[in-house]
Amino acid sequence: MSTRLQNGGRLIDRAEQVEFNWNGKRLLGFKGDTLASALLANDQVLVGRSFKYHRPRGIVAAGPEEPNALVALGEGGNYEPNARATTTELFDGLSAKSQNHWPTLEFDVGAVNKMMSPFFPAGFYYKTFIAPRFAWKHVFEPIIRKAAGLGPAPHAEDRDEDTYEYYYAHCDVLVVGGGIAGLAAALAAGQAGAKVLLLEQYADLGGRAPVDGVEIDGKPAQKWIDTTVKVLKKLPNVRVRTRTMGAGVYDHGYALGYERLTDHAPKVAGPRHRLWRIRAKRIVTTTGAIERPLSFAGNDIPGVMLAGSVRDYTVNFGTSVGDRVVVATNNDDAYRTAIALKEAGLDVPAVIDARVVADGELPNKARAMGIRVETGRAISTVYGGKRVTSVGICSQAGEGTKTDEIACDAVAMSGGWSPVVHLWSHCGGKLNWDFDMAMFRPDPARPPLGDDGDGFVLAAGTANGHLDAGAALADAFECGARAASEAGFKGKVAGAAIAASESEAPILAVWSMPQGQSKKLQMKTWLDYQNDVKVSDVRLAAQEGYESVEHTKRYTTLGMATDQGKLSNINGLAVLADSLNADIPQVGTTTFRPPYHPISMGAIGGEASRHLFKPMRRSPIHEWTDANGGFWEPVGDWRRPYCYQKDGESVTEAVHREINQTRDSVSILDASTLGKIIVKGPDAGKFLDMLYTNMMSSLKVGRCRYGLMCSENGFLSDDGVVARIDEETFLCHTTSGGSDRIHAWMEEWLQTEWWDWKVYTANVTEQYAQIGLVGPNARKVLEKMGTNLDLSAEALPFMAFVDGEIAGIKARPYRISFSGELSYEVAVPAAQGQAFWDAAMEAGKEFGISPYGTEALHVMRAEKGFIMIGDETDGTVIPQDLNLHWAISKKKEDFLGKRAQTRIDMVREDRWRLVGLETEEPDVVIPDGAYAIDGTTRPNGVKNMIGRITSTYYSPTLKRSIAMALVEHGPERMGEMIMFARTDGTTINAKIVDPVFLDKEGARQNV
Amino acid sequence: MLLLTCPNCGIAAEETELGAGGEAHITRYGAGSADDDFETYLFMRKNARGVHFERWRHSNGCGKWFHAARCTMTLEVFGTYSAQTFEPPKDLIKKIKKKRPDWEGFVK
């Protein structure tokens, strides 16, 4: 059994007991424990079930590489699935549950899948996708959905109760990893004078060195670590952050850090996670190495763990993983585990070493302690179900015939160590395969390149392939100093400390245990624990032609789980290389992508959630609208009222009421969201002539003109009314959503094409409130409000404007109309918008004035046949399609889009062009976007389409359904009936008519 | 995430502050131009593998456009310069030539 030892545990505080909950059971741990170490101390080796076969799975590792111990933490608004027990610090009241099992962890019905495993081979999903459609829908999908998966997603209604934030940091040297190498690199760079930021993912600094018994300057490593941390904290130019993982390295020295602020102390106020957005001149990765499993049969049975992690649990947490631990290895390092276990008073029945000779310092020390060392031997298979019971021993050279069996309850395995090259590789750093050390290590000649073309990442220490502590520390000092120097800091760096550990004999690359493992054993030998990928799966993939490592990965799902193959990738590609008879470097690695370890979505979002997700723009009338029945809809970054609902009124009823009130008397409209851009300068007229399709330079001061803007492709992009304020000043109205885009469009042309033209632009959209008074009684309302202006038809005719005062407020009424009614759009300073609105409401009382929203606006403009950008246009429509020839100048030599409008496709006679439609049955409204069909079909059975609906409404004014559509040869087919298809297969008949349904002569507006 | 120095305001700006504007030094062909010229203007882009000149706007900063010379393979930035120019500055071309001896040179 796994249990807490009497003594030891450098990270735990035995004086402080911590209570936590595991699957409803009350358990005890100590302060300083991780959830994993506390579970082991309570003999909870079994922690979950595997993804595909629901096999029992136990804790394998002690760090972020852990593939199995994924648990669900917390409840409700604090619930989090798939948290790693090995990186979860224990706190009082922690509540965790195991995942992916039914009904219980110990008894799982899904484990039947194990018997089905011959039917779930590599490429299972690919193969089933080809299966008949019905089989997929009715057989495979329901079964897979129920069986596969990790922790359930949080309930949709449970909002995350925590907050998150971003933090921006700039530094000269970023050091990722706070082991002895990281401390040394930070020290050297800091002494040189560089601004240094050191990130460490764990709560404590120093890394593995104290666990591995490293000595520095003749003393235990811990002494040097403590001193160095003190020195670093005193240096004003060095910042050290623990519980902060270097998550990713990106172009030009950009890096992400992931700080877990309160995961270990949920009662502390403040954000839970913080995303560090770092820009560094140089990045030193001292990220250490991760141990590889050995590929022997039954290596996924709970109790089989990484040797280094077994040592971590013993030394750091005073926890044994078992009473009798067999060590299996191909290198000297694993002997440290055997020695540590023996020193802790545990039984190590044997070290099974695949190498023929093992007579280095460490194996000899183990032998001297009375540990049985078996060289040239291998584990044939591990026995046990939910826990290891024994291991079979065989010759490493053979096929796996068992010659001996050793009873044990845990296996500590080591297939060697792989440097953590993730951060080096994220941004393009290349790797070399080191045949002697059997590992990929960074190639210093091919680093990721910064904006200056020089390498900006330096891998140092163990992450650079120096598994020996002495070499690692020397390398880290040197890299730290070099990083600072490259960043421009050449201060004096004190001499490097000297580290020493037991010398190690060479590793033997063992990718299969035993060497000639039989097919039967390969089917029980796991590579990827989380995704249930076995040696046999990778061999099958190779056999089926998936020779590229990227293909094999996707075919088998090797390394595609949440651990991203930290344990499995190297072993997997070694098996692939062997299957293909190739060398490992020829096969290569898959791409390392950030983040190194999963980070929370909350941290990625930072503060940008809820009302800060996308800041909203508010018109000066926003509050009033909100308080007076405004039924909001998003328009660009704004909110505009679709309608103003009265008590007991439906949305449709409100819209119809608003239209009738406008047509019969007078209404008020908040048009403040309309874009307003001032274009000013001696060349302003010339510039607008290029921007708009019609002539703007000829516009008289005090007058307005409707204009169209096109892209260089000729397509209609925006429209609006232009007013000439004075000889050199124009005010261009844009659509509500278009002001920023159009302003940028103007600036682009002025800055990059016509930079010698004397024109300035200014976006004044938010400087004005624009309030429309619309309807036959509009003039009466304005006059009643009190004004120094003559608002009569003679003094202020249609398409004119004037400056003056209304209701004591500086005002500029434009006589423009989007409804076809007598209409004044009055611009007033934004701060006085509400006052103007209130005065208009008061003055309009006797005419029954009420506000109208965007839907009434839409219906009324459609009744008049006015186009709407985004309804009648979709980025493929030219003004000519909309019969707007009258707004396209024939006199002008050039304007943006003119050349494109002469292209063959744009002058095609059968382009779909704008028409109005009246349905055969006046009450039937055609669905928006419906296609016009002519009853013929294409060879593939699809109906031929000859047009589509762009706007469609019920008009309360005309008491019938009206629509606008783009139809092939439309304007030449006036009076014809055409059909529109509904999605249910039925059709609607409609007559093609002029799109101006109401008041063609303009009698209503020209009064 | 790229880092480009805006020559207008002098800020070393992050990519999130910038808007990309495609290839630089494109000649506009307007009304009356030949089909081939117009096609080249509207559609034909170099899509260079290596040295490339492009337009950027410091859109979440000073709002000004500028040009950048960049290697599309290594993302090395050779320099940034005014958008109000018909071709890259001579000293920049010299600098690039020195760093990339095989480069064919600026071709409009």
Per the listing, tokens 């409700």 go with: A76
- Provide the CATH number for the domain formed by A164-289+419-500 in this structure: 3.50.50.60
| Per-residue confidence (pLDDT) for residue A594, from 0 to 100 | 95
**Residues A455, A456, A460, A465: is their CA dihedral positive or negative?**
negative
Domains of chain A, by residue range, sit at 1-161, 164-289+419-500, 323-413, 519-582, 616-858+884-891, 909-993
In the CATH scheme, what is the homologous superfamily, with its name and number, of domain A909-993?
Aminomethyltransferase beta-barrel domains (2.40.30.110)
Are B76 and A279 inside 8 Å of each other by CB?
Answer: no
Average pLDDT over residues B52-57: 98
Inter-residue contact A955 to A862 (CB < 8 Å): yes
Are B1 and A250 inside 8 Å of each other by CB?
Answer: yes
| Per-residue confidence (pLDDT) for residue A1006, from 0 to 100 | 87
Nearest by CB to residue B28, choosing from A252, A253, A753, is: A753
The residue that leads in pLDDT, A800 or A110, is: A800
pLDDT band, residue A762 (cuts 50/70/90): very high
Q: What is the 8-class DSSP label of residue A155?
A: P
Are B77 and A452 inside 8 Å of each other by CB?
Answer: yes
Q: Which amino acid is at B59?
A: S
pLDDT band, residue A354 (cuts 50/70/90): very high
Residue A964 has pLDDT above 90, yes or no: yes
Instruction: Tell me the fold of A519-582.
Output: Arc Repressor Mutant, subunit A (1.10.10)
- Cis peptide bond prior to A514, omega within 30° of 0: yes
pLDDT band, residue A118 (cuts 50/70/90): low
Question: DSSP string spanning A831-873?
Answer: GGHHHHHHHHHHHHGGGT-EE--HHHHHHHHHHTT---TTTT-
Domain count, chain B: 1
* Through-space distance between the first and last CA atoms of chain A, rounded to whole angstroms: 96
Instruction: Tell me the fold of A323-413.
Output: FAD/NAD(P)-binding domain (3.50.50)
Residue B105 within any structural domain of the chain: no
Beta-strand relationship, A80-84 and A768-774: unpaired
What ipTM score was computed for the predicted complex, to two decimals?
A: 0.98
Are B32 and A449 inside 8 Å of each other by CB?
Answer: no
Are A453 and B59 inside 8 Å of each other by CB?
Answer: no
Whole-angstrom Cα distance, residue B103 to residue B86? 20
Chain A contacts of B14, Cβ < 8 Å?
254, 279
For the stretch A205-230, pLDDT in tens is 999 999 999 999 999 999 999 999 99
Structure tokens at A3: 């249990």
Are A254 and B1 inside 8 Å of each other by CB?
Answer: yes
Beta-strand relationship, A351-353 and A373-375: parallel
For the stretch A656-683, pLDDT in tens is 999 999 999 999 999 999 999 999 999 9
For the stretch A161-180, pLDDT in tens is 999 999 999 999 999 999 99
* Through-space distance between the first and last CA atoms of chain B, rounded to whole angstroms: 28
Whole-angstrom Cα distance, residue A36 to residue B24? 57
Q: Which of A452, A750, A751 should be substituted to probe chain B, the one whose Cβ sees the most B Cβ atoms within 10 Å? A: A751
Residue of chain A whose alpha carbon sits nearest to that of B36: A903
Percentages helix, strand, coil for chain A (3-state, rounded to 5) are 25, 30, 45
Are B57 and A893 inside 8 Å of each other by CB?
Answer: no
- Cis peptide bond prior to A64, omega within 30° of 0: no
Whether B108 has its CB under 8 Å from any CB of chain A: the answer is: no
Are A453 and B31 inside 8 Å of each other by CB?
Answer: no
| Per-residue confidence (pLDDT) for residue A610, from 0 to 100 | 86
Report the 10 Å Cβ neighbour count for A259. Answer: 22
pLDDT band, residue A971 (cuts 50/70/90): very high
For the stretch A271-304, pLDDT in tens is 999 999 999 999 999 999 999 999 999 999 999 9
* Alpha carbon separation from A185 to A419, A444, A543 (Å, rounded): 17, 17, 46
Are B3 and A712 inside 8 Å of each other by CB?
Answer: no
| Per-residue confidence (pLDDT) for residue A102, from 0 to 100 | 62
Residue B106 within any structural domain of the chain: no
Whether A170 has its CB under 8 Å from any CB of chain B: the answer is: no
Are A899 and B83 inside 8 Å of each other by CB?
Answer: no
Dihedral class, residue A697 (left if φ above 0, else alpha if ψ from -120 to 50, else beta): alpha
Whether B42 has its CB under 8 Å from any CB of chain A: the answer is: yes
Whether B75 has its CB under 8 Å from any CB of chain A: the answer is: yes
Question: DSSP string spanning A376-394?
Answer: TEEEEEEEESSSEEEEEEE
Return residues 723-762 of A near B (CB < 8 Å): 744, 747-748, 751-753, 755
- Provide the CATH number for the domain formed by A1-161 in this structure: 3.10.20.440
Are A751 and B28 inside 8 Å of each other by CB?
Answer: no
Residue A134 has pLDDT above 70, yes or no: no
| Per-residue confidence (pLDDT) for residue A462, from 0 to 100 | 98
- SS3 assignment, position A785: helix
pLDDT band, residue A128 (cuts 50/70/90): low
pLDDT band, residue A241 (cuts 50/70/90): very high
Residue of chain B whose alpha carbon sits nearest to that of A754: B84
pLDDT band, residue A140 (cuts 50/70/90): low
Average pLDDT over residues B87-101: 97
pLDDT band, residue A123 (cuts 50/70/90): low
Beta bridge partners of A2: none
Residue of chain A whose alpha carbon sits nearest to that of B78: A452
The residue that leads in pLDDT, A253 or A115, is: A253
Dihedral class, residue A173 (left if φ above 0, else alpha if ψ from -120 to 50, else beta): beta
pLDDT band, residue A122 (cuts 50/70/90): low
Which run of H or of E encompasses A339?
helix A334-343
Task: Please state the length of chain A.
Answer: 1007
Chain B contacts of A712, Cβ < 8 Å?
41-42
For the stretch A488-519, pLDDT in tens is 999 998 889 999 999 999 999 999 999 999 99
In a 13 Å sphere around the CA of A239, the CA atoms on its Cβ side amount to 12
Structure tokens at B12: 């070393």
Name the minimum distance, in Å, from the CA of B75 to any CA of chain A. 6
Residue of chain B whose alpha carbon sits nearest to that of A690: B30
Residue of chain B whose alpha carbon sits nearest to that of A743: B63
Inter-residue contact A768 to A676 (CB < 8 Å): yes
Are B31 and A898 inside 8 Å of each other by CB?
Answer: yes
Residue of chain B whose alpha carbon sits nearest to that of A280: B3
For the stretch A764-800, pLDDT in tens is 999 999 999 999 999 999 999 999 999 999 999 999 9
Whole-angstrom Cα distance, residue A235 to residue A230? 9
Burial class (CB in 10 A: 0-12, 13-18, 19+), A920: exposed
Whether A251 has its CB under 8 Å from any CB of chain B: the answer is: yes
Residue A885 has pLDDT above 80, yes or no: yes
Inter-residue contact A605 to A164 (CB < 8 Å): yes
For the stretch A812-830, pLDDT in tens is 999 999 999 999 999 999 9
Are A900 and B32 inside 8 Å of each other by CB?
Answer: no
Nearest by CB to residue B1, choosing from A251, A747, A755, is: A251
Whether B76 has its CB under 8 Å from any CB of chain A: the answer is: yes
Chain A contacts of B71, Cβ < 8 Å?
453
**Residue A590 CA, distance from chain mean position:** 21
Q: Which domain holds residue B92?
A: 3-99
Taking the model in full, what pTM does it have?
Answer: 0.92
Average pLDDT over residues A702-730: 98
Are B76 and A451 inside 8 Å of each other by CB?
Answer: yes
Beta-strand relationship, A254-260 and A273-285: antiparallel
Residue A569 has pLDDT above 60, yes or no: yes
In the CATH scheme, what is the homologous superfamily, with its name and number, of domain A616-858+884-891?
Probable tRNA modification gtpase trme; domain 1 (3.30.1360.120)
Are B57 and A748 inside 8 Å of each other by CB?
Answer: yes
Return residues 82-101 of B near A (CB < 8 Å): 83-84, 99
Are A753 and B2 inside 8 Å of each other by CB?
Answer: no
Which run of H or of E encompasses A336?
helix A334-343
